[in-house]
Amino acid sequence: MDKKIIEARLRKFDSTISRLKKMQRIPEKEYQQNQDYQDITERNFQVAIQICIDIANYIIAGANLTVPDDASNIFVTLGKSNIIEKQLVEKIKNMVGFPNILVHDYLEIEPQQVYDMLQHELSDFDDFAKAIVRYIDSK
């Protein structure tokens, strides 16, 4: 496993999460009324989630772990291997389908739902990144 591949993704992840944290400071009413804020937030969520998926798949392949039968189970595999904590598995596993909703079901996206994720779920991304850094530092 090449740590530099994961580190490159973590750098992009960090900049993506930083942008989301800037958006997190925007008052709800202002966010709801500004399509640009919504677009920026949705795109950065999409990228952040995809980076988590890419890192997870890379670790699974590099560590010769069992390839999961479903995309949402890639984080279960990392949890079973003690790469990420089990309580984080459930939180982040539920985000796997969100990029598909953003791309394919864009008519059904509720700005309130995205704003709530912005306010309450960013720490899950930080926890994921910390777990991955601990894992690659142990290798």
64-114 pLDDT, tens digit each: 999 998 887 999 999 999 999 999 998 888 788 787 777 766 667 789 999
Q: For the chain, give me the number of helices (H) and strands (E)?
A: 8, 0
- CB atoms near residue 5 (< 10 Å): 14
Question: 3-137 in CATH: which number?
Answer: 1.20.120.580
What is the value of pTM for the model shown?
A: 0.91
- Domain segments of the chain as ranges: 3-137
CB 62 within 8 A of CB 23: no
CB 122 within 8 A of CB 24: yes
Q: What pLDDT, on a 0 to 100 scale, did the predictor assign at position 95?
A: 83
Residue 1 above 90 pLDDT? no
Q: Which residues contact 21 (CB under 8 A, 6 or more apart)?
A: 122
CA distance 26 to 125: 19
